[in-house]
Amino acid sequence: MARITFLEAIRAAQLEEMQRDDKVFIMGEDIVCNVFGTTTDFVENFGLERVRDTPISENGFVGAGAGAAMVGMRPIIDVTLSSFLYPAMDQIVSIIAKSRYIYGGQASLPLVVRSCMFYGNSNAAQHSDRPYPMLMGVPGLKIIVPSGPRDMKGMLKAAIRDNDPVFCFEDATLWSGKEEVPDDPDFIVPIGKAEVKREGTDVSIFAIGGAVPMAMAAAKILADDGISAEVVDPRTLSPLDREAILKSARKTGRVVAVDPAHLTCSAASEISAIVVEDAFDTLRAPIVRVTTPDTHMPFSPVIEKALYPNKERILAAVRKVVGLPVPA
Amino acid sequence: MPDKTNDRSLESYRRMLRIRHFEDRAEAMHAAGEIPGSLHTYAGQEASGVGACMALRDDDYMVGTHRSHGHPIAKGAALRPLMAELLAKATGICKGKGGSMHLSDFKVGSLGETSIVGSGLPVAVGAALGSKLQGNDRVSLCFFGDGASNEGAFHEACNLAAVWTLPVIFLCENNGYAVSTPASAMVSVKDVAERAKAYSMPSAIVDGQDVEAVFEAVTEAVTRARTGGGPTFIETKTYRYAEHAVNMGRVLLDRGGEVDEWRSRDPITKYRKRLVEGGVAEATLDTIETEVVAEVEDAITFGRESPYPTQEEAFDDVLSERLPIPAFLTA
Ligand SMILES: Cc1ncc(C[n+]2csc(CCOP(=O)(O)OP(=O)(O)O)c2C)c(N)n1
Ligand SMILES: [Mg+2]
């Protein structure tokens, strides 16, 4: 066990998997200079063939990852910020997601596309997206959003070993958070499994990425008010762990879904729909979603900050579903 | 040799100085935490932007990049709304929605300073198509970097402009780097301008530290575009003095003595010398400098005294009508 940051967890996962399997290589913009600290000493360890700087050609190198995967490599494609996935949407949707299907299973695409969600820093609308819901609408992709260093390391390792394309969305608000993380090279956190981060009986808070620590903090405060909140982190958004979601919803009968993405068609929306379809009879109150409203992210920090989910909004949502007066 | 009575020369000098001084102040304010977000400075590249914009008419179009401070000032934008934007104020040119990467003033013909690399090129082509369809003689100029020439959008835009014979000028500001990667390692040709050949486009490579040379090359391209001759590709060889963005607390790539070498060919210092040698009185240039300093200070005061946008304004300009304000923000 070692206490490491989220970024160090990314580095550790990549390092261990590249040591374990020489088919694994990494490419992306400004990888060699180690811009975010996830490839420290990689060039020294693996050389420039396996640690590749790419030109600013996202559609090109993401698609090249697909081709390399088809012939047996296991690329890790670092797309820096998730807003830069858009130029690559062509290869992501038409090639990466669909090749296995349209070729009747002949193609296998074991690749990982990593990108961070860099929001809340006054970098304006073109840099601040949290676009996993768009990809949730595309069959053929796995999507993970780890919420802490332990899950980050374990899930990224699982993603690299997975035989399907996995999109890893890294919430930059979590970058510097530390946690005890196993250093066993075979430590894996399975894809497709939610985790109950805190047990509770009165309300289920489903929280994604950077919203998980907020939900945990809210649950602590609620406990002082005599409300027992269960915090569930789906961790994988495609495929969602329906059983875990339904189990918690049935147990508490009250649901708050917290998601840093935009409200409409968010992961919170999908979670809510699952609960309404299959656990409606156990619900004791309408579901509340705590998300980012359907506007772009403005540059000005005075109006950007309040748009995202925060602890206060989660508390208000929980008080509403448990039927307590919500203070103004 | 510029004539001392030549207004254009003095205006070129004034605009380059404006950019430099505006950014020097902005960089310090950013370091002090007064300007949020990231700040990509244009220092070192002033002659490229100003030389190009001086060759344009006020009603010609222009599209730029994340390195957005120089282009609008070069095209003649007022400083107050630009500084207010950096300060995230409601009086900013983008009402505090855009910030440092988007100092785009549509009043001077800008159609955006866009921070997704390569995304401005098709827009410039479309504006040129608009001019052609509307039967006017406005041209479009697109600024982009060496790094952007590796995006698919760049190649598609070039081909479109060529096959439709559109009045567009592709102005590649080759400052040698994209973040940490040298163009020599990332671009398949020595000069980005070689790529013009693939699109049957005339091209020119100019010293981007020489405002007159840039002006002349762009003037020729503008004449071609206005008279139906189609697109031109111009590569300015230039340099950014700072890191990719300032105040990062980190050097991503050590560029060695190269930075000092380029600084010794500073476009503003060089041009001043040339103007003086051409007979312009030092006092005239000193006066311009004093005026520019005062103008920038005035813009800073304006920005500082301006109000921030209200929370409701986060829901303006998503569509032409304001969106409803969510309940959690009105409670
Ligand atoms: C599509 C996309 N990919 C990556 C980035 C991150 N990024 C911002 S500026 C930049 C380098 C651009 O280099 P260049 O085009 O040469 O312009 P310069 O910064 O040198 O002015 C990169 C990679 C981005 N903004 N958009
Ligand atoms: Mg460049």
Task: State whether A72 and A199 are in the same domain.
Answer: no
Residue A139's beta-bridge partner residues? none
B321 token code pair: 């009508």
Dist. CA B119–CA B122, nearest whole Å? 7
Cβ atoms of A13 and A6 closer than 8 Å: no
Give chain A's domain count: 2
In one letter, which amino acid is A205? I
Task: State whether A12 and A58 are in the same domain.
Answer: yes
Ligand 1 centroid to B148 CA: how many Å? 7
CB-based contact, A71 to chain B, within 8 Å = no
Residue nearest to ligand 1 atom 6, measured at CA: B117
Which residue of chain B is at minimal alpha-carbon distance from A34?
B252
| Cβ separation B88–A86 shorter than 8 A | no
| Residue A167 structural domain | 2-181
Q: Please name the residues in contact with B7: beta carbons below 8 A apart, sequence gap of 6 or more.
A: none
A66 token code pair: 């697909």
Residue A186: inside a domain: no
| Cβ separation B308–A33 shorter than 8 A | no
Positive/negative CA dihedral, A191, A193, A194, A197: negative
pLDDT tens-digit map of B41-53: 999 999 999 999 9
Task: State whether A316 and A201 are in the same domain.
Answer: yes
Cβ atoms of B146 and B45 closer than 8 Å: no
Residue nearest to ligand 1 atom 8, measured at CA: B117
Task: State whether A165 and A238 are in the same domain.
Answer: no
Which residue of chain B is at minimal alpha-carbon distance from A59?
B152
Task: State whether A241 and A313 are in the same domain.
Answer: yes
Cis amide linkage into residue A239, ω under 30° from 0: yes
Which contacts qualify for B268-274: CB closer than 8 Å, 24 or more apart?
A: B268/B13, B268/B16, B268/B17, B268/B20, B268/B46, B268/B47, B270/B209, B270/B210, B271/B12, B271/B13, B271/B16, B271/B47, B271/B210, B271/B211, B271/B212, B272/B13, B274/B1, B274/B2, B274/B212
| Cβ separation A55–B148 shorter than 8 A | no
Residue of B98, B185, B252 with shortest CB distance to A299: B98
Task: State whether A169 and A260 are in the same domain.
Answer: no
Task: State whether A254 and A166 are in the same domain.
Answer: no
Residue A68: inside a domain: yes
pTM above 0.95, yes or no: yes
pLDDT tens-digit map of B275-322: 999 999 999 999 999 999 999 999 999 999 999 999 999 999 999 999
H/E segment holding residue B288:
helix B282-305
In chain B, where are the structural domains located?
Answer: 4-330
Residue A326: inside a domain: no
Residue A114: inside a domain: yes
Chain B CB contacts of A35 under 8 Å are 179-180, 252
CB-based contact, B67 to chain A, within 8 Å = no
Over residues A39-45, mean pLDDT: 97
Task: Tell how far CA B325 is from the center of its chain.
Answer: 35
With a 6 Å cutoff on the Cβ, whether B113 touches ligand 1 is no
Tell me the CATH number at A233.
3.40.50.920
With a 6 Å cutoff on the Cβ, whether A87 touches ligand 1 is yes
Task: State whether A157 and A242 are in the same domain.
Answer: no
For A275-299, b where at least 16 C-beta lie within 10 A, e where not — what string?
A: beeebeeebeeebbbbbbbebbbbb
Over residues A230-246, mean pLDDT: 98
Which residue of chain A is at minimal alpha-carbon distance from B253?
A33
A192 token code pair: 């497709």
Residue A187: inside a domain: no
* % residues pLDDT > 70 (chain B): 98
Structural domain ending residue among the three candidates A150, A181, A212: A181
Pick the CATH number of B4-330 from 3.40.50.970, 3.40.1110.10, 1.20.1080.10, 3.50.7.10: 3.40.50.970
With a 6 Å cutoff on the Cβ, whether B15 touches ligand 1 is no
Indicate which residue of A20, A127, A198, A242 is catalytic: A127
Task: State whether A105 and A228 are in the same domain.
Answer: no
Tell me the CATH number at A96.
3.40.50.970
> Quick one: which of A171, A94, A109 has its CA closest to A142?
A109
Dist. CA B253–CA B242, nearest whole Å? 11
Task: State whether A212 and A66 are in the same domain.
Answer: no
pLDDT tens-digit map of A50-84: 999 999 999 999 999 999 999 999 999 999 999 99
Task: State whether A175 and A219 are in the same domain.
Answer: no
CB-based contact, B116 to chain A, within 8 Å = yes
Task: State whether A173 and A38 are in the same domain.
Answer: yes
Q: Please name the residues in contact with A108: beta carbons below 8 A apart, sequence gap of 6 or more.
A: A69, A70, A100, A163
Residue A188: inside a domain: no
With a 6 Å cutoff on the Cβ, whether B154 touches ligand 1 is no
Chain B CB contacts of A87 under 8 Å are 116, 118-119, 151-153
In one letter, which amino acid is B234? I
pLDDT of residue A328: 57
A127 is a catalytic site residue: yes
Q: Please report which confidence band the pLDDT of residue B2 belongs to, taking 50, 70 and 90 as the band edges.
A: very low
For A173-200, b where at least 16 C-beta lie within 10 A, e where not — what string?
A: bbbebebebeeeeebbbebbebbebbeb
